[in-house]
Structure 1
Amino acid sequence: MEPKHRQILQRHRRDLVTALNPADICDGLLSKGVFTQDMIDEIQSKITRRGQARQLVISLEMRGSQVFPAFLECLRETSQHDLAELLQCGDGACLPTSVPEQPSLIPLPVENPKYTEKPDRFDFTPPRLVPLRPESLPVPKPLSPSSETQGVRPTRTRRDSIQCYKMDASPCGICLIINNVDFDPASDLKDRKGSNIDCDKLEKRFKALNFEVIVKRNLKYKRIRQEMAFIAKRDHSAYDCCVVIILSHGTEANNNCFPGAVHGVDGPSVPVQLITNYLNGQNCPSLQGKPKLFLIQACGGGEKDTGFEVSPDEVEPSLGGIDDQMDAIPISSSSDSLSTSDEFDARATLPTPSDILVSYSTFPGYVSWRDTQAGSWYVENLDRVLEENAATDDLGTILMMVNHAVSQISAKGLYKQMPGSFNFLRKLLYFQSSQS
């Protein structure tokens, strides 16, 4: 597909997901050679109309240069003219391509020109031109509740596709949340007030995304590794995904792939690299080829980011709470927190990290801020963005929205935070949603 047409589909994806009726259009797309039967089967395997519409748009973006005009033609053939015209205008032409013989402008009758004294010169008032139709484009009409499930064909087992991961198992997968709040005084780490707010939000959110949520609180170093080993030994054959969320203090740790480490409540830290290795293809065969997501709310080090000046129109003023705290170990002891055996274990067992995404609440080496009354900046915005966009946007887009939202906040009016991720996913990932 031409880049400009792909951009049009992406710009109007929400409109298409809201109003498109895939059941009417699939046969036309198949007969015109836009889609193969396997692609149609993949679209129809989605349970809801919105899910089918979303998959149809994703598949269109992966096809050839002649797909866009054929798609518009199919829309008109199935009386979905509002959507066709919406997309047509995005292509720079607002009239249907199927009726090129109709003029866009109709001149009104005019009087004979008034000649001047010289016969080879004359002047006249140009005729007024009347548009064939109003200039404003029709807006897609919202579907009635009853139409949400109309036209949904019988589903069949959905196969993995080249565009996106299979994410329709029920439950979709296991979501393990490790919430470390109360730390041993000997660890020199403060209790993480406000972390229970984060935990509650994420537990509710991932249950709404159809995950089996397991919450573990106040785990020591060895217990963190034991829980990861237990998850790795489970049979994930019936699941499509696995999510691990860690809410704890963090510190710097350099590894081959994923930096950082998270602390047990007794003080010692487990490298993020080691945590991800438990679920790689070698150690957890039933998750091979399936997305494995790790969301880390912890500091990446002891540096505080004071930001840099930008023009006023680039920043939305936003201040953190007065009770903002850092999820970091004291800087003086951060370099001594990783034992030699843990570092060797992480490096010795590292395979290619395919189908893994690690999202960090902050850039490696920097602190992560948490409001003791409202929870962490990262989790608060992650929960909000998932609620608003999980039904329409893929995980990569969602995390980018979170990055932007967190970057606008300031702790104590001075310090900033920048989340980021190490993405080794091979496909787009769309969560299940009650709105899908």
Structure 2
Amino acid sequence: MMRPDRRSLLERNILEFSSKLQADLILDVLIAKQVLNSDNGDVINSCRTERDKRKEIVKAVQRRGDVAFDAFYDALRDTGHNDLADVLMPLSRPINCAVNPVPMECPMSPSSHRRSRALSPPRYASPTRVHRDSISSVSSFTSTYQDVYSRARSSSRSSRPLQSSDRHNYMSAATSFPSQPSSANSSFTGCASLGYSSSRNRSFSKTSAQSQYIFHEEDMNYVDAPTIHRVFDEKTMYRNFSSPRGLCLIINNEHFEQMPTRNGTKADKDNITNLFRCMGYTVICKDNLTGREMLSTIRSFGRNDMHGDSAILVILSHGEENVIIGVDDVSVNVHEIYDLLNAANAPRLANKPKLVFVQACRGERRDNGFPVLDSVDGVPSLIRRGWDNRDGPLFNFLGCVRPQVQQVWRKKPSQADMLIAYATTAQYVSWRNSARGSWFIQAVCEVFSLHAKDMDVVELLTEVNKKVACGFQTSQGSNILKQMPELTSRLLKKFYFWPEDRSRNSAV
């Protein structure tokens, strides 16, 4: 526990710290000193603004007790924050110990705001005497850290992306404590978001009491993300380096002629818009389209001259199995939509990855559920119309095995290079919260923001499946209802988003 007078001193001066502290430099020093661990760093880096980051650092120090207070004072001196260090000087003492990195109780990050975790309380090492040489190594931390960091970044930029081990290596080299054995847990695992830099970032923000998490874009810089450890291989990976990365079309149907209003879809639209905008896509939003307008808009989108290396289509609407419903209650077959994006109808997207996200019901069955706070993107049976639910022509087995004529040119299926992510499995409803939006889009935004820097899209959507299946549920009477998303991949290579460094127009 921190002494009350020290805690009070930090609280009284929180405004000064929140305006003057160089959050990124101090955070790196505190992690290197093992005062904070990488989990604490993730929470701090997820703050929306620089001011919030600075406040969170001070609060994290308060939670770590008296040893952390003294380490914070030393870190301020080491990094040239002498005016802030003078504020703490009356209650500080020179620190001669390191803090054991152990799990601690800290505010939940946006990705875990729905559930709490039982964590063990912080434990600290007892103060021990350290040789003066080791103290001098700490005082020279700033220059050593910056030199090694610059060398690591310059060398990695020319040959390979920055490795997570790089940061651990130069942190270990820059801060050595002879009296303390190095901890295996001291490696820095990097930011917990898209590859946020340590200088600027963007994350979720919490709006009022609705716990509605919406992305807010700032001038992001992904270049300092140390956890990306892949090298582009054109044989196994799709290229996705254009600036912008490509176009993203979002169709958001909220108000219908007969079917219920899709309350909560605005949160989905805002979240998914800012997610893909922050990942380098030009986002086009279309609201409340009829069935015919949806087809016309998607057809124009497929033929757009401004496409980059990839394209994204997001549909937020009511639906049934194999159909999406327009605001005029006219159904559109999903296969007709997908055909508009194939190589024949959208030649500018040939050989390019096309990602389709469908937030809509695919039937009326419930995987056991609860309509009190959550509503469903389904079609009431009384107003359901006679759309075609057939799967298409009978499977022509002989046509598939008939010997093919040898062609001079190799052919590629026109339906290739497409991935379709459904909010739910066929014949089942999908759930949407009137305040926070749909379960599926919530999970997509959280998982993609955390892992787009180090996972391909299939891995990301597998995590989305897990998050929706295990992290969301609702009740209907005595029944507990769940939801299971579904992924259909026609991709021929791995697809990475390669988050963009906007200040240098390069990927990391």
Could you report, residue by residue, the CA deviation over 1:275-307 in whole angstroms, capped at 9, with x for unpaired residues?
Answer: 111111111111111100100000011111129
Q: Is the 8 A contact 1:180 1:219 kept in 2?
A: yes
Q: TM-score scaled by structure 1? A: 0.59
CA contact 1:295–1:359 (8 Å) conserved in 2: yes
Q: Secondary structure at the match of 2:426?
A: coil
Q: What count of residue pairs does the alignment treat as equivalent?
A: 294
SS of the equivalent of 2:474 reads coil
2:436 counterpart of 1:370:
no
**What RMSD over aligned residues (CA atoms) do the two structures have, in Å?**
3.9
Q: 2:333 aligns with which of 249, 271, 279?
A: 271
- Taking the aligned partners of 2:184 and 2:283, their CA distance within structure 1 comes to 46
In the alignment, the residues of structure 2 paired with residue 351 and residue 142 of structure 1 have an alpha-carbon distance, to the nearest angstrom, of 41
> How far off is 1:139 after superposition?
4.0
| Residue number among 366, 381, 398 corresponding to 2:460 in the alignment | 398
Question: Which whole-Å CA distance do the structure 2 matches of 1:142 and 1:368 have between them?
Answer: 35
1:218 aligns with 2:288: yes
Structure 1 183/22 Cα, relative in aligned 2: closer, same or farther at 3 Å?
same
Q: Map of 1:75-90 to 2, 5 A cutoff?
A: 82=169
- Partners in 2 of 1:367 and 1:359 — Cα distance? 15
SS in 1 for 2:285: strand
State the identity %: 31
Which residue identity lines up with residue 460 of structure 2 in the other structure? I
Which residue identity lines up with residue 411 of structure 1 in the other structure?
T
Stretches of structure 2 lacking an aligned partner (at least 5 in a row): 1-148, 173-179, 191-196, 200-221, 225-230, 394-411, 502-507
**Kept after mapping to 1: 8 A contact 2:344/2:414:** no
CA pair 343-239 structure 1, distance change in 2 beyond 3 A: same
Deviation at 1:160, TM superposition (A): 7.0
The residue aligned with 2:253 is 180
Question: Does the 8 Å contact 1:280/1:351 carry over to 2?
Answer: no
Determine if contact 1:240/1:291 at 8 Å carries over to the other structure.
yes
CA apart distance, 1:210: 0.8
One-letter amino acid matched to 1:183: F
Between stretches 288-297 and 350-359, larger displacement belongs to: 350-359
Aligned match of 1:203: 273
1:298 equivalent in alignment to 2:360: yes
Larger Rg: 1
**Structure 2: how far apart are the matches of 1:203 and 1:279?**
20
Q: Which residue of 2 aligns with 1:106?
A: none
CA distance in 2, matches of 1:80, 1:199: 37
Q: Tell me whether 1:251 sits opposite 2:320 in the alignment.
A: yes
Structure 1 residue 334 displacement after superposition? 5.1
Q: 1:215 to 1:434 in 2, by over 3 A?
A: same
TM-score in terms of structure 2 length: 0.51
**Distance in 2 of aligned mates of 1:336 and 1:80:** 61
Q: CA deviation at 1:163?
A: 2.0
Provide the C-alpha distance between the structure 2 equivalents of 1:145 and 1:190, rounded to a whole number of angstroms: 45
For the residue of structure 2 that corresponds to 1:404, the secondary structure is: helix
Return 5+ residue gaps in structure 1 as ranges: 1-18, 28-39, 44-48, 55-74, 86-132, 151-157, 253-259, 308-319, 345-349
Q: Secondary structure at the match of 1:174?
A: strand
Task: Provide the C-alpha distance between the structure 2 equivalents of 1:381 and 1:141, rounded to a whole number of angstroms.
Answer: 26
Give 3-state SS (helix, strand or coil) of 2:420's partner.
strand
What are the superposed Cα offsets for residues 226-246 of structure 1, whole Å, 9 maximum, x if unpaired?
Answer: 00111122125x600010000
